[in-house]
């Protein structure tokens, strides 16, 4: 009985998220209320609030689901590739693959996520768990590769790669090319550059610059 209730609860939760995302696409995020989401999902308003205290929590659930999809989508390349560049390329392409179905929604929603004080901002405290989960993928990209770089730079590299991926996401939001073709092209053309810059960081002439960069990152972050 308990297991059946748990399954039903998860199904209800998933239905509310799915319904909310559909209404956000159709009516816009601002115009969609929790009451409307509950009605469309066929649940009471109280039941909707039982699972999600606000629309913002629904978006955080969307972030979490998208992140889970990304983890699954890049598992094959992380399990089969050892070289840094193919690992990074595969993970970034998988990221775009999982985002493409939500392209229209992302375009309409972007202005809310870009607001610095919004809990929906990827850099907000509320988005912390999803952000850390995303950074952990790039940590796996680095740790599972044969990169030989300064240990301190290696610690910071996953977060730098996540920031790079956020730049790709920003470009994707504004990409109007068929199937987001230009975003894929951006990834394919920039990954070799990132790989070269990371590899150069271990050269004698660049070690001092790399350590200075690490110091700046830590000072700004703290």
Structure tokens at 14: 């998933």
Fold match between 1-53 and 56-221?
no
Alpha helices (H) along the chain: 2-27, 34-41, 45-51, 55-73, 75-80, 84-99, 103-113, 128-143, 151-173, 181-200, 204-221
Distance CA 136, CA 119 (A): 21
pLDDT at 26: 82
pLDDT at 111: 79
* 171-127-150 Cα angle (round to 5): 70
pLDDT at 3: 60
- Could you tell me the pTM of the whole model? 0.84
pLDDT at 109: 76
Give pLDDT tens digits along the chain (222 positions): 566 777 788 889 889 988 988 888 788 888 889 999 999 999 999 999 999 888 888 888 888 888 889 999 999 999 999 999 999 999 999 999 999 888 887 877 787 788 888 888 888 888 888 889 999 999 999 999 999 898 889 999 999 999 999 999 999 999 999 999 999 999 999 999 999 999 988 887 777 788 888 888 888 876
CATH 1.10.10.60 assigned to 1-53: yes
CATH of domain 56-221: 1.10.357.10
pLDDT at 2: 65
pLDDT at 222: 66
Exposed / middle / buried, residue 106 (Cβ in 10 Å: 0-12, 13-18, 19+): middle
Could you tell me the residue ranges of all domains in the chain? 1-53, 56-221
Distance CA 125, CA 35 (A): 26
Q: For CA atoms 16, 117, 111, 160, give the dihedral sign.
A: negative
């Amino acid at each position: 009985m308990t297991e059946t209730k748990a399954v039903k609860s998860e199904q209800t939760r998933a239905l509310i998220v799915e319904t909310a995302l559909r209404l956000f696409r159709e009516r816009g995020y601002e115009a969609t209320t929790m009451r409307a989401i509950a009605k469309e999902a066929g649940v009471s308003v109280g039941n909707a609030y039982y699972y999600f205290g606000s629309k913002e929590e629904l978006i955080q659930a969307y972030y979490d689901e998208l992140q889970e999809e990304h983890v699954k989508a890049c598992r094959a390349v992380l399990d089969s590739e050892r070289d840094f560049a193919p690992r990074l390329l595969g993970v970034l392409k998988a990221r775009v693959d999982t985002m493409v179905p939500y392209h229209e929604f992302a375009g309409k929603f972007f202005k809310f996520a870009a607001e610095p004080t919004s809990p929906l901002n990827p850099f907000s405290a509320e988005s912390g768990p999803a952000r850390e989960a995303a950074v952990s993928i790039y940590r796996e990209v680095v740790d599972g590769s044969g990169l030989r770089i300064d240990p301190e730079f290696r610690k910071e590299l996953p977060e730098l790669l996540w920031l790079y991926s956020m730049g790709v996401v920003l470009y994707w939001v504004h990409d109007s090319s068929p199937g987001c073709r230009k975003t894929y092209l951006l990834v394919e053309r920039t990954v070799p550059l990132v790989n070269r810059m990371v590899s150069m960081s271990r050269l004698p002439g660049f070690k001092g610059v790399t350590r200075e960069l690490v110091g700046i990152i830590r000072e700004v972050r703290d």
